[in-house]
Amino acid sequence: MIQNAIGFVSLWAIPAFLVGIPLYGVCRGVKVYESFVEGAKEGFQVGVRIIPYLVAILIAVGMLRGAGAIDLLAHWLDPVLSRVGMPAEILALAIMRPLSGSGSLGIVTELVKTHGPDSFIARLAATAYASTETTFYVLAVYFGAVGIKKARHAVLAGLFADLVSLIAALIICRLVFGP
Amino acid sequence: MLNVIWLALIIVAVVVGGINGKIEDVTRAAIDSAGSSVTIAIGLIGVMALWMGLMKIAEDSGLVRLLAKIIAPVMRRLFPDVPADHPAMGSMLMNITANMLGLSNAATPLGLKAMADLDRLNPTPGVATNAMCMFLTINTAGVQLIPATMVSIMAAAGSKDPTVIIGTTFAATAISLLFGLAAAKFLEVLPVFSVENAAREGKAS
């Protein structure tokens, strides 16, 4: 039932936008083709404008991963965090999540495979992955698109939300699925 | 802040890579990441043009302003610096909707459109406004009604009940969003994070 509903939404949401917006436009007397082309022009500029910001963030994250720093940090933090009930397997995922979307997706897929999709670890990993976004990537792309170099408090607020989502995922999964 | 974080990430990578004997991997990762950044950005151009085009129709037809007006009571509290009928309100709502539906390839272009709209209200180019930081926090919190990617991964791995994570994910993301919004509201008034301070830091360095 739920799965069918999800399938329906992900199948029809984009076509609904694609036909709905121009249809509304026509009804309001907009020259839809001309408007579309006019707006689409910006796409190229935005794509090019974010390149330097993406390069800066992705090389830093890539170097950290290449150096094995994420595993090392997970190793150091493990004795502290296992005391509050954070499984060691989840720790590397938690550190990777704000830095790299593809990296953390790889970790989740691996955990699901080794522990089985109906295990506590897999469910916790899936919840932790899906309940937040790749903060540094979002930061680079969104601020890069409008040339923002001074992020002010955005980094701290974003990372704080990441931490809260991890703790929330742990507590909620413990309550719902039990370890 | 980004100056410090960025430098720290790179220094840590080189030092740890050196100690781990993985300095070659660090070099390769830097070169590869630089290349793949461009691939990602170029890959975004087409889908960006698509949604920017649709958004232009939505704007010209008054749909964006209409959406902005409907959600104004909520948005006004989160974004007090943005006029209630400003197009930014509508495009931010479109981005949040796409995110909630899990349409990530629509959400990013719509979000960037919203950032461009917000930047038109920015008196200090290059420095993030309170509204931008708030909007970014909403996006990094990743509000999602249906974690479609995860559900399909669980299903593909042979889960008996792949949708059980929907409830836990929604609860966790809602809690983190609330805390994130509160943190952004709290941090934006701190003198360390003031626009003046950020602008000054720029001149000094």
Tell me the residue length of chain A: 179
Question: In 3-state terms, what secondary structure has residue A50?
Answer: coil
Asked, for residue A67, whether it belongs to a domain, the answer is yes
Q: Are residues A22 and A84 in the same domain?
A: no
Question: Is any Cβ of chain A less than 8 angstroms from the Cβ of B169?
Answer: yes
A14 located within any domain:
yes
Q: What is the mean pLDDT of residues B54-80?
A: 89
Given A68, A164, A169, which is nearest B168 (Cβ)? A169
pLDDT range class, residue B11, cuts 50, 70, 90: very high
- pLDDT tens digit string along A2-58? 667 767 777 788 889 899 999 999 999 999 999 999 999 988 888 899 999 999 999
- Chain B residues touching A44 at Cβ < 8 A: 45, 48-49
Give the pLDDT band (50/70/90) at residue B143. Answer: confident
Is B65 in contact with B85 (CB distance < 8 Å)? yes
Interface size, chain A vs chain B, as Cβ–Cβ contacts under 8 Å = 384
A37 found inside a domain: no
Q: Which pLDDT score, from 0 to 100, does residue B204 have? A: 45
CB contact under 8 A, B128 and A142: no
Instruction: Identify whether residues A78 and A15 lie together within a single domain.
Output: no
User: A81 and A23: one domain?
Assistant: no
Q: Do A24 and A52 sit in the same domain of this protein?
A: no
Contact (CB<8Å) A66/B199: no
> Does a structural domain hold residue A109?
yes
Point out the residue among B52, B162, B183 whose CB comes nearest to the CB of A39: B52
Give the model confidence (pLDDT) of B150-174 as tens digits.
Answer: 888 999 999 998 889 999 999 999 9
Cα of B73 to nearest chain A Cα, Å? 23
Contact B32, A62 (CB under 8 A): yes
A92/A143 same-domain check? yes
Residue A57 located in a structural domain: yes
Instruction: Verify that A67 and A152 share a domain, yes or no.
Output: yes
The arithmetic mean of pLDDT across residues A155-160, rounded, is 95
> What is the number of other CB atoms lying within 10 angstroms of the CB of residue B70?
13
At residue B1, does pLDDT exceed 90?
no
What residue numbers bound the domain in which A73 lies? 42-177
> Token digits for B39?
């691939």
Crossing angle of helices B23-60 and A2-27, rounded to 10°: 50
Measured CA to CA, the distance from residue B19 to residue A178 in angstroms comes to: 40
Nearest-CA distance from A151 to chain B in Å?
5
B184 with A160: CB under 8 angstroms? no
Cβ neighbours of A114 (radius 10 Å) = 11
CB atoms within 10 A of CB A96: 26
A51 with A72, same domain: the answer is: yes
Same domain, A61 and A134: yes
Handedness of CA A64, B22, A92, B101 (dihedral sign): positive
Interchain pair B150, A126: CB under 8 A:
yes
Q: How far is CA B2 from the centre of its chain?
A: 16
| Domain annotation covers residue A4 | yes
Residue A6 and residue A73 in one domain = no
| Alpha-carbon span B159 to A107, nearest angstrom | 18
pLDDT at position B118 over 60: yes
Q: Are residues A18 and A47 in the same domain?
A: no
What 3-state class would DSSP assign to B127?
A: strand
CA dist., res. B176 & res. B142, Å (int): 9
Nearest to A132 by CA among B177, B98, B5, B107: B177
Total domains in the fold of chain A:
2
In this structure, is residue A36 part of a structural domain? Answer: no
Residue B190 sits at the chain A interface (C-beta within 8 Å): yes
Which residues in chain B are contacts of A67 at CB distance < 8 A? Answer: 12-14, 16-17, 20, 22-23, 25-26, 29
- A4 and A72 share one domain: no
| Residue A58, in any domain of the structure | yes
Residue A166 confidence class, pLDDT cut points 50, 70, 90: very high
A161 near B CB under 8 A? yes
User: In which element (H, E) is residue A174 found?
Assistant: helix A154-177
Contact B205, B3 (CB under 8 A): yes
CA distance B175 to B146: 16
Place of tokens 């969104």: A142
Do A26 and A52 reside in the same domain of the chain?
no
In this complex, is the C-beta atom of A11 within 8 Å of any C-beta atom belonging to chain B? no
Q: How far is B121 from chain A (nearest CA, A)?
A: 12
Query: How many other CB atoms are found less than 10 A from the CB of residue B108?
Result: 25
pLDDT confidence of residue B202: 56
